[in-house]
Amino acid sequence: MSDNIPNTDQDRSDRTGDHKNSRRTFFKNIGLVGAAAAAGGAAIYSGFKYEESKPNHDFVKVLTADNRLVEVPRSQIKDIKVDLTRLQLAGREGLKGHRWVMVIDLSKCRNARKCIAACQSAHHLRPYEYHINTLIMQESENTAPYYMPKPCQHCDNPPCVAVCPVNATFKRQDGVVLIDNERCIGCRFCIAACPYSARMFHWEEPLMAESDQGKTYNIELNVPQRKGTISKCLFSSDRIREGKLPYCVSTCPNGVYYFGDENQDAVTNGTTKETHRLSELLRDNAGYHLMADLGTKPRVYYLPPKNRLFEFKDKRDKNKETT
């Protein structure tokens, strides 16, 4: 017990020491708690922010410009408005350094009409509205009939471009002849001037007028199509801008079409994907122009319909109707 008494001071001191000690601890603790609270708060806040920004597993499948199917979070999707002026300027300028050219091998065409369907679906046309049509040809009575796909010839001396009063149809530096349906006044002088009957007119509301409403006009696809204006084959300018073969060329099941660049002297077959020298292809197969005597200088070449590997089924009929 006595120990207790002398120890009192000690105790006191201890106590005071204790006191001091506990105050320090207290403050220390307070500091810790404060720091912890701040950290926790920050953590909670950042966690909250994180939660807020975190992808919520709602993905959307998107086809990229180079044709890859990718997934992106819905929250990352932003609407962009395609700029008409930019499309128009690029579309009128064309692809520098190229001279597009098509070769059609008549010995292979068996009138599958797949090219026509692909073209019509890409350009939102009715079954009897043609950018490209396959015709049953026969030069004279005793010569053999054959099928001839007939797109726009993209002439280097285009009669249609010459007569257009408002520069709605024009020739690009890469050889393509396009039509701007934002400009076309619908006078149809180009239809009258074209010796290949390659142009069509929208006599009524176009097939997909309603669903295409509000879309930005793409001059290289000529969609949306417009009532009261001209439409025509575009050499699939939207596809060649992406480094792809035209719709008709890549859809043909019979290897009829070659497409490529005259500057590179190379054309690729749309079916076999084989690339050939343009000059050799034309030389070896006696390539020719359709109605070359008219002086229109077409960019489409034909290879003669020799050695056909199939029988000609259609009756020869000058004016065949649709069925």
Partner 1 sequence: MTMASEVNTGFLNDKRLDSIAADILRPVGISKGFLIWMGFLGISLLGCMYAYYLQWDKGLIVTGLRDYVSWGMYIANFVFFVATSLVGMLISSVLGLIGFKWVKPIARIAEIIAVAFAAIAGLVIVLDMGRPERLPYVFMYGRIQSPILWDVTVVTTYLVLSTLLYFIPLIPDLAISKGKIGHTPKWLQATYEILSVKWNHTSEQYKILLKSVRILLILIIPTAFAIHTVTSWLFAVTLRPGWDSTIFGPYFLTGAFVAGSAAVVILMYFVRTNYKLDNYLTFHHFDMMGKLLVLVSIVYVYFNINEYLVPAYKLKTAEAIHLHDLFVGDYALMFWSVQLLGVVIPIILLLFRFFRKPLPMLIISMVVLVASWFKRLLIVVPTQENPFLPKQFVPKAWMVYHPTVIETAITILPILLAVIIITLLVKLFPVIPIWEIAEEQAEKHDQTQE
Kind of pairing, strands 275-277 and 266-269?
antiparallel
- Among 30, 32, 286, 291, indicate the residue that binds partner 1 (CB under 8 A): 291
Q: Which stretch binds partner 1 (CB under 8 A): 50-58, 88-96, 195-203, 245-253?
A: 195-203
DSSP codes of every residue in 236-247: THHHHHTT---H
- Among 19, 49, 54, 188, indicate the residue that binds partner 1 (CB under 8 A): 188
Q: How far apart are CA 266 and CA 112, in angstroms?
A: 26
Counting Cβ atoms within 10 Å, is residue 214 exposed (0-12), middle (13-18) or buried (19+)? exposed
- Taking the complex as a whole, how short is the minimal distance between the CB of residue 169 and partner 1, in angstroms? 10
Alpha helices in 235-303 (DSSP H): 237-241, 247-251, 278-285
User: What string marks each residue from 141 to 170 as x (binds partner 1 by CB under 8 A) or -?
Assistant: ---------x--------x--xxxxxx---
Dig out the tokens for 216 from the structure.
């930005």
Q: Is 289 in the site for partner 1 (CB under 8 A)?
A: no
Q: Is 121 in the site for partner 1 (CB under 8 A)?
A: no
Which of 146, 177, 191, 153 minimizes the C-alpha distance to 296?
153
- Among 71, 203, 309, 311, indicate the residue that binds partner 1 (CB under 8 A): 203
Q: Is 179 in the site for partner 1 (CB under 8 A)?
A: no
Which of 104, 67, 115, 98 minimizes the C-alpha distance to 269?
104
- Among 177, 184, 252, 300, indicate the residue that binds partner 1 (CB under 8 A): 184
- Size of the chain in residues: 323
Q: Is 228 in the site for partner 1 (CB under 8 A)?
A: yes
Q: Is 297 in the site for partner 1 (CB under 8 A)?
A: no
What residue ranges bind partner 1 (CB under 8 A)? 128, 130, 133-137, 150, 159, 162-167, 183-189, 191-193, 195-197, 199-205, 227-229, 291, 294, 296, 317-322
